Amino acid sequence: MNTYVCRYCRQPSDPSAPTCPLCGAPVDIRSSVSDSGWVEQPPIRDMAEIQFGQSHVQIEGTTVPVAEFALAEQDSIYFSHHVLLWTDPQTRLGNMSMRGGWKRMMAGMPLIMVEAHGPGHLALSDNHAGEVIALPLQHGQRMWVREHRFLGATGNIRYDWEANNVWYDTGEDSQHQDIHYPMGQYGDIFAAQDRPGLLLLHSPGNTFIRDLGQGESLLIQPSALLYRDISVRAHMHLEYPRNQGFAFWSPRWSYHKVWVRLIGPGRVAVQSVYQPPEDYEAIRNSSYTTVHRW
Amino acid sequence: MTCGAPLDVRDKVSDSGWREAPRLRDMTEFRFSASTCQVEGELVPVAEISLSPQDGVFFEHHVLLWKDESVPLGSMKTAGGMKRTLGGMPLILTVANGPGRVAFSRDAPGELVVLPLHPGMELDVREHAFLLATHSIQYSFVRIKGLANVLHGGSGMFMDRFVTAQYPGLLILHGNGNVLERTLKPGEKILVEPGGFLYKDSSVAMQAVQLPLRTGMLGQHRMFLAEMTGPGRVGIQSMYVHHHSSE
């Protein structure tokens, strides 16, 4: 009886294989855990294969990895059109339209996904140095993913999106307000339906994962959050460092730090490449926020 | 002439036949003519050339990282100046002659592709992807007319063409991200994102084909890929210059 559970994708796996057949993580390495409990997600080895349905995906390269799919006749995947690197002429491609087109366009999210049906080969790659993250989802499992990190998913994974509700506005008055979304305006929600599925993400830089216990909380850079279990809650947190003789001359400015507080239970993952939000404009209004003044 | 590829590693070929370009080990050194090239670094690699007195290399001037003071620089004028200017290609290439040391790099994570060219070879390379070439290689450029309105808003896509006549030469490219190569049989076709194209044998035909897909809010964008038809080699890069679909 196989009792091995992959420490990265949390699925029962094959201990005799060099890499987990479900997520591609190397099996024969020691876990790399920081003192504070972050587990480094090991990069998928060059040419490792991940099985899904009757098909598989092979990860090629290490700087900007390519996900090369060999699709069986009954399997399909979908993806945003701009990550398609190459395809066999015989692979059937079609549009997969989505609800909320206007909002998605305003938020800069892809409007139309492309569906690819087997049999055939095609390859996807993102345009940044980083890692491909493979998340096998069990039937009914749901995952929040930062926008623009999605690379591809199997056809049985339902794709939806929702407002992140982490925002603040700055500006002189209500006529000149500037709304900021430090975690992105919307988040992608993926859920496996009917049967297990595979979700592929592209993570710029390196990736670290951590399990939060019930009620355990953590402050992170908002744009560094890569994915989280739906059970993990998120809201904005502001810190005002102690003023040590320094003061802005205008009430438009203030010195603060914008965080996102994550509250368990559940798994969270961060990427090491991020864009810190502006910290100098006074915040006039915001979504639910906790504040700490040192 | 060698290419610096490690000999003690297995060939990495995907199930569909794409072969990874051999990743050159840090400080790998190899020879061409009477000169040597050493590759330094792995994230954004540098090619350091030690030129002998009878050798020279040409390159786009902005890839020059450093050089010995004594290394003379010259210019190599290219034909078709107006077309090149409109296509965003450098009008003048720079030539460095030995003896002395000179180093090159492009400012993007990726890998160097070392392509020794035997006499009588012709290779087409995406614009701004070549790092340097030895002076025995003849340089010209070609315009891919079929991709004109797809890729550059009407001005077309230019490719550098490198040809060896009676002498061999060495061509070094910089591929963004990872580089993969596949050899197409006669008549075999593959569809490639145009921004991912890196190089091909001139025997490989290339044209734009429209996919049965619409993108954009009202489906007003069309989606095109570059259709490559064998025989010959095709090289692609995984971090690509993305060309927006045409309206």
pLDDT tens track for B92-101: 788 999 999 9
Residues of chain B contacting A58 with CB distance shorter than 8 Å: 14-15
Picking from A86, A88, A114, the nearest residue to B196 by CB comes out as: A86
Is A9 part of any domain? no
Q: Say whether B245 and A81 touch across the interface (CB within 8 A).
A: yes
Is A1 part of any domain? no
Is B48 part of any domain? yes
Is B8 part of any domain? no
pLDDT in tens, A3-30: 688 888 888 888 888 889 999 998 887 8
User: How many contacts does A have with B, using Cβ atoms within 8 A?
Assistant: 114
* CA pair distance A59, A80, nearest whole angstrom: 18
Is B97 part of any domain? yes
A82 contact B CB<8A: yes
Q: Say whether B177 and A58 touch across the interface (CB within 8 A).
A: no
Is A15 part of any domain? no
Is A263 part of any domain? yes
Q: Say how many domains are in chain B.
A: 1
Domain of B134, in residue numbers:
19-237
Is B128 part of any domain? yes
pLDDT in tens, A128-175: 889 999 999 999 999 999 999 999 999 999 998 889 999 999 877 777
Is A11 part of any domain? no
Count the Cβ atoms, other than its own, within 10 Å of residue B27.
Answer: 10
Alpha carbon distances (Å) from A4 to A1, A14, A51, B217: 9, 7, 17, 47
Return the residue in B11, B16, B185 with the most chain A beta carbons within 10 A, the one to mutate for interface testing. Answer: B16
CATH of the domain at B23: 3.60.160.10
Q: Say how many domains are in chain A.
A: 1
Q: Say whether B215 and A81 touch across the interface (CB within 8 A).
A: yes
Q: Is A158:A78 a contact under the CB 8 Å cutoff?
A: no
* CA pair distance A8, A201, nearest whole angstrom: 14
Is B247 part of any domain? no
Q: Say whether B216 and A66 touch across the interface (CB within 8 A).
A: no
Is B192 part of any domain? yes
Residue pLDDT tens, chain A, 294 long = 456 888 888 888 888 888 899 999 988 878 888 888 899 999 999 999 999 999 999 999 989 999 999 999 999 999 988 899 999 999 999 988 666 666 666 656 666 789 999 999 999 999 888 999 999 999 999 999 999 999 999 999 999 888 999 999 987 777 778 899 999 999 999 999 888 999 999 999 899 999 999 999 999 999 999 999 999 999 999 988 776 555 666 666 677 889 999 999 999 999 998 887 776 788 889 999 999 988
Domain of A166, in residue numbers:
39-293
Return the residue in A63, A79, A112 with the most chain B beta carbons within 10 A, the one to mutate for interface testing. Answer: A63
Is B67 part of any domain? yes
* CA pair distance A86, B237, nearest whole angstrom: 11
* CA pair distance B138, B136, nearest whole angstrom: 7
Residues of chain B contacting A63 with CB distance shorter than 8 Å: 43, 109-111, 177-178, 238-239
Nearest CA in chain B to A84: B193
Picking from B196, B213, B227, the nearest residue to A81 by CB comes out as: B213
Residue B175 backbone dihedrals phi, psi, to 5 degrees: -100, 135
Is B184 part of any domain? yes
The pTM score is: 0.86
* CA pair distance A78, A200, nearest whole angstrom: 11
Taking the CA of residue A70 and the nearest CA in chain B, the distance in Å comes to: 8
Residue A138 backbone dihedrals phi, psi, to 5 degrees: -75, 160
